[in-house]
Amino acid sequence: MAYPKVDFLYLSEDDMIAAGVKDMKGCVEAMEEMFKLMKIGDYRMGGANGNSHGSMVCFPEKSEFPEMPVDGPDRRFMAMPAYLGGKFDMAGMKWYGSNAENKKKGLPRSILMLTLNDKDTGAPLAFMSANILSAYRTGAVPGVGFKTFAKEDASVIGIIGPGVMSKTALAAAMSVRPSLKTVKVKGRGQASLQKFMDYVKTEYPDVEVYAVDSIEEAVRDSDIVSASTSTPTGNPDLYPYIAEEWIKPGAIIESTAALRFDDDFVINRARTVTDNIKLYEAWEEEMKPNAYYTVPIPAVKVEDLIAEGRMTSAQIDDLGDVLIGNTPVHRKEDEIILYSVGGMPTEDVAWGTMVYRNALAKGIGTKLNLWETPKMMV
């Protein structure tokens, strides 16, 4: 960039697709590299601890100001900043607003944008549509876990919650375990189930897909289980539940949302793996006691159990440690792995950087000018 002039690239959703945002294989590889960089410390996220998920703006249940929004399902704004080093060497921030009422207007629940910035000057490099990007990086993170831990001949995957996140998690699973031949899906509404099954039949015509009536049916005999449900937080008794006896030996169960297991199983027999242990430690620090009441991901429950003295930190493994060889891929034969996915802005920066560079190389997007010369120097 020829300073002081600053131009940046705007990428619409169509531009992002043309630039390869749906390349799941490439996205899984980018997430794999990101995990390795994070494990050696070549990253920063928000907060004093450098590992915060982000900063959330929530609204009160009631307000004396008529123009102020009030609380509702998935109603919030979220800023998620990060720097990621290595081959990415990029700073950025995902910013989004979310409201379940959006669907009545024909809009996604959340509307996301990603800004990429020069690490030294802070000047914007790109401003891009991030709904598809976020969905694909969210699916690719489970994909890294499936690639690392799932049986090589895995043939059955159980899906709990037939939403967008489950579509991309399935895409990741198919990209790393093409041996998958059967998809079982559990949902709450017939319309969403049918939409998901139609998607699978279109994208993977050689794969059998069918709906099941219970979480137990989705879990039994599955080599991989992916759970992504929309569940109110605050009461763990209402979180989706999986019993130990339902789980196939050697299976991996991945969760990006609320999920519940019996404490005895978690403490004594399951193997807990996180996408970034420091993220869960940050949540525990920020939301103690009982962080699991607010962030219902299984590894957060483990952090609560550690805080209570019922487990130790040695009972959680970090995916990055496995990828760089500090921790064995498997600790014992036919172990059951509970893999928690919390979501991090480093993921958005990683995949956003790759798509941005691809867009530059292909001449995709619209160049916008911030200024020729800044009119005010601060």
Of the candidates 126, 155, 142, 308, the one whose C-alpha atom is nearest the C-alpha of residue 226 is 142
pLDDT at 230: 80
Choice among 201-205, 232-236, 297-301 with the minimum mean pLDDT: 232-236
pLDDT at 231: 83
Of the candidates 214, 130, 209, the one whose C-alpha atom is nearest the C-alpha of residue 167 is 209
Instruction: Write the CATH number for 126.
Output: 3.30.1780.10
What is the rounded average pLDDT of the residues 45-72?
92
pLDDT at 331: 95
pLDDT at 288: 84
Place of tokens 């669907």: 103
- Which distant-in-sequence residues (6+ apart) come within 8 Å of 365 by Cβ? 9, 10, 11, 12, 15, 19, 126, 359
14: confidence class by pLDDT, cuts 50, 70, 90:
very high
Residue 378 lies in a domain: no
Token code pair at residue 155: 């043939």
Alpha-carbon distance 324 to 34, whole Å? 11
DSSP 127-157: EEE-HHHHHHHHHHHHHHHHHHHS-TT--EE
86 shares a domain with 200: no
pLDDT at residue 53 greater than cutoff 90 = no
351 shares a domain with 336: no
Strand ranges, E, within the chain: 6-11, 43-45, 55-57, 76-84, 90-98, 110-117, 124-129, 156-160, 182-186, 208-211, 224-227, 252-255, 271-274, 316-318, 337-340, 366-371
DSSP letter (8 states) at residue 248? P
331 shares a domain with 256: yes
158: confidence class by pLDDT, cuts 50, 70, 90:
very high
Instruction: Write the CATH number for 230.
Output: 3.40.50.720
357 shares a domain with 269: no
Q: Are the beta carbons of 344 and 90 closer than 8 angstroms?
A: no
What is the rounded average pLDDT of the residues 24-35?
97
354 shares a domain with 293: no
Alpha-carbon distance 234 to 216, whole Å? 23
pLDDT at 151: 96
pLDDT at 55: 92
Better-predicted residue by pLDDT, 377 or 196: 196
343: confidence class by pLDDT, cuts 50, 70, 90:
confident
Residue 1 lies in a domain: no
Q: Are the beta carbons of 351 and 88 closer than 8 angstroms?
A: no
283 shares a domain with 155: yes
212 shares a domain with 81: no
Token code pair at residue 9: 């690239």
Alpha-carbon distance 349 to 114, whole Å? 8
What is the rounded average pLDDT of the residues 42-71?
92
pLDDT at 203: 95
Alpha-carbon distance 223 to 200, whole Å? 18
Residue 287 lies in a domain: yes
pLDDT at residue 1 greater than cutoff 80 = no
63 shares a domain with 17: yes
pLDDT at 134: 96
pLDDT at residue 179 greater than cutoff 80 = yes
CB count within 10 Å of CB 362 equals: 12
Q: In the chain, how many domains are there?
A: 2
270 shares a domain with 185: yes
pLDDT at residue 31 greater than cutoff 80 = yes
What is the rounded average pLDDT of the residues 237-266?
96
**What are 278-292's pLDDT values in tens digits?**
889 988 988 888 999
What is the rounded average pLDDT of the residues 92-103?
95
pLDDT at 137: 96
pLDDT at residue 37 greater than cutoff 80 = yes
pLDDT at residue 19 greater than cutoff 90 = yes
34 shares a domain with 44: yes
Token code pair at residue 44: 């920063």
- Considering all CA atoms of the chain, what is the largest pairwise distance in Å, rounded to the nearest integer? 67
Residue 376 lies in a domain: no
212 shares a domain with 192: yes
45: confidence class by pLDDT, cuts 50, 70, 90:
very high
Residue 17 lies in a domain: yes
pLDDT at 182: 98
pLDDT at residue 127 greater than cutoff 90 = yes
pLDDT at 52: 86
What is the rounded average pLDDT of the residues 167-192?
95
Q: Are the beta carbons of 347 and 136 closer than 8 angstroms?
A: no
304 shares a domain with 162: yes
- Residue 19 structural domain: 6-133+346-371
Of the candidates 101, 94, 169, the one whose C-alpha atom is nearest the C-alpha of residue 351 is 94
Residue 294 lies in a domain: yes
pLDDT at 102: 94
